[in-house]
Amino acid sequence: MPAEKTGRGDMAAKKKQGSVKFAEANTELMLAALAHEIKNPLNSIKGAGQYLNDRFGGNPEIKEFVSLIITEIDRLDAYLNEFLNFSRGTKLNLKPVNPAAFINGVIMLVKHGFKCEIETDFTGREHSLPDAMIDPEQMRQVIVNLLTNARDAAGDDARIKISCGKKGKNIFFSVSDNGKGISKALMKHIFTPFYTTKEKGMGIGLSICRAIVAKHGGKIRVKSEPGFGTAFTVLVPAGTKGGKNGA
């Protein structure tokens, strides 16, 4: 009799799990369709704005307002992309990547948008480190987000340091800043979706970061002290050998 109950319980659990997966798949499909329907009119509005700017851009007043329209459309489009990234879990394309080469590539990507210097801390260890087993595109999104948060927290006078190395069976990437730090009260909420203290932003950047790192079988840790800055550390599994590929 107990075995029969156990069997029924297992079947019920599997049925429930299947229902959850079906609901998640339908939700992702609905969100993708909704984003598509919103993006189409946004693109049309942006195209009309660019036409007006080309045709009547000689009028300073028209140029000012049309530029504002185009800027806000770009911002909405970026929010939609962030929301889609958060709502759907894209599959990983894991590759063995040299950590130092990877970080140097990210810095090349973002440095023109930063007024402050980004200091690296892995000189002399570039080719001695094992590869990190990561999806370069998704992990790049994580590091760029952490660098952007560091810049926003510390302002134009920011001192940002990024380092990488080996810790146990993991490769770590660390981003630290000299900003105002995070209070204990706020620390509890920084990975909560849609929670933000910024005037602009949806508050899902760190949630996306944690989700991406978790898919890699890794962890993201944070240390912060008000008035002394913040450090985020990403831990991901190491590969088997060193390499030069920064993907």
Per-residue pLDDT of the chain (247 residues; tens, 9 = 90+): 555 555 555 555 555 454 444 444 555 566 666 776 787 788 888 888 889 989 988 899 988 999 989 888 887 887 777 666 655 556 788 999 999 999 999 988 887 777 777 888 776 566 778 899 999 988 998 999 899 888 887 776 778 899 999 888 899 999 998 888 888 888 888 887 776 766 666 567 788 888 889 989 999 999 988 888 889 999 999 875 544 455 5
* pLDDT value at residue 240: 58
Tokens of 238: 């190491």
- Cβ count near 100 (within 10 Å): 23
Distance CA 143, CA 206 (A): 11
* pLDDT value at residue 90: 64
Distance CA 61, CA 183 (A): 44
Length of the chain: 247
* pLDDT value at residue 114: 76
Instruction: Among 1.10.260.40, 3.30.565.10, 3.40.50.1820, 3.40.50.300, name the CATH number for the domain at 95-237.
Output: 3.30.565.10
What is the architecture, at CATH level 2, of domain 2-87? Orthogonal Bundle (1.10)
* pLDDT value at residue 11: 56
**246 contacts 106 by C-beta, under 8 angstroms:** no
* pLDDT value at residue 22: 43
Distance CA 57, CA 20 (A): 52
**98 contacts 131 by C-beta, under 8 angstroms:** yes
* pLDDT value at residue 14: 52
- Nearest alpha-carbon partner for 176 in 149, 139, 136: 149
- The CATH 3.30.565.10 domain(s) of the chain lie at 95-237
Distance CA 193, CA 109 (A): 26
Distance CA 140, CA 134 (A): 10
Q: Where are the alpha helices (DSSP H) in 111-157?
A: 136-154
Strands (E), 46-150: 95-97, 118-121, 132-134
* pLDDT value at residue 16: 47
Q: How far apart are the first and last CA of the chain?
A: 58
- Nearest alpha-carbon partner for 195 in 178, 183, 207: 207
246, HSE (Cβ side, Cα atoms, 13 Å):
13
- The CATH 1.10.287 domain(s) of the chain lie at 2-87
* pLDDT value at residue 186: 82
Distance CA 179, CA 229 (A): 4
* pLDDT value at residue 218: 94
